[in-house]
Amino acid sequence: MFFECKSLQELNLSNFNTDNVTDMGCMFCYCSSLKELNLSNFNTNNATNMNAMFCECSSLKELNLSTFNTNNVTNMSSMFDGCSSLKELNLSNFSTNNVIDMKMMFWGCSRKLKSEIKKKYKIFDKEAFKN
């Protein structure tokens, strides 16, 4: 949807209707200038694919996904791949119970962020942290 919007710097999708969306793969992929992203009311109840959703969002410093319902998601591979500036990532309501693929989910994220995520959330397998 916003794939390769390289000049996009901020985006407020708090009132965006995603009730029927199942595929969110690459939704913000390569939005390399994106610094602010509001997804506070994003409905992810029907989403099954979040592959590379934020891939190469290299200017994002924080991302709050605490409202995301990921109970139906099966693919989270490369979801945050290349988010090299990400310092804070809130995944407090994430469920990976049905996830089949989470390879390279945090590839390209800082060591510090990966370490914090490993400690705080015990729901990701080792494949998510491989480089």
**Total residue count of the chain as it appears in this document:** 131
pLDDT given for residue 114 in this prediction: 94
DSSP string, 27-63: TTTT-TT--EEE-TT---TT--B-TTTTTT-TT--EE
Supply the range of the domain harboring residue 46: 1-131
How many C-beta neighbours within 10 Å does residue 26 have? 20
How many C-beta neighbours within 10 Å does residue 36 have? 13
Residue 131 has pLDDT above 80, yes or no: no
- Number of domains observed in the structure of the chain: 1
Give 130's pLDDT tier (boundaries 50, 70, 90).
confident
Cβ partners under 8 Å of residue 82, min gap 6: 55, 56, 57, 58, 107, 108
Share of the chain above pLDDT 70, in %: 99
Read off the pTM: 0.93
Q: What's the average model confidence in pLDDT over 59-87?
A: 97
Tens of pLDDT, residue by residue over 36-49, are 999 998 999 999 99
pLDDT given for residue 20 in this prediction: 96
Q: How far apart are the first and last CA of the chain?
A: 27
32: its two tokens: 């390399």
113: its two tokens: 């962020």
Tens of pLDDT, residue by residue over 91-115, are 999 999 999 999 999 999 999 999 9
pLDDT given for residue 65 in this prediction: 96
**Cβ atoms of residues 93 and 118 within 8 Å:** no
Tens of pLDDT, residue by residue over 20-66, are 999 999 999 999 999 999 999 899 999 999 999 999 999 999 999 99
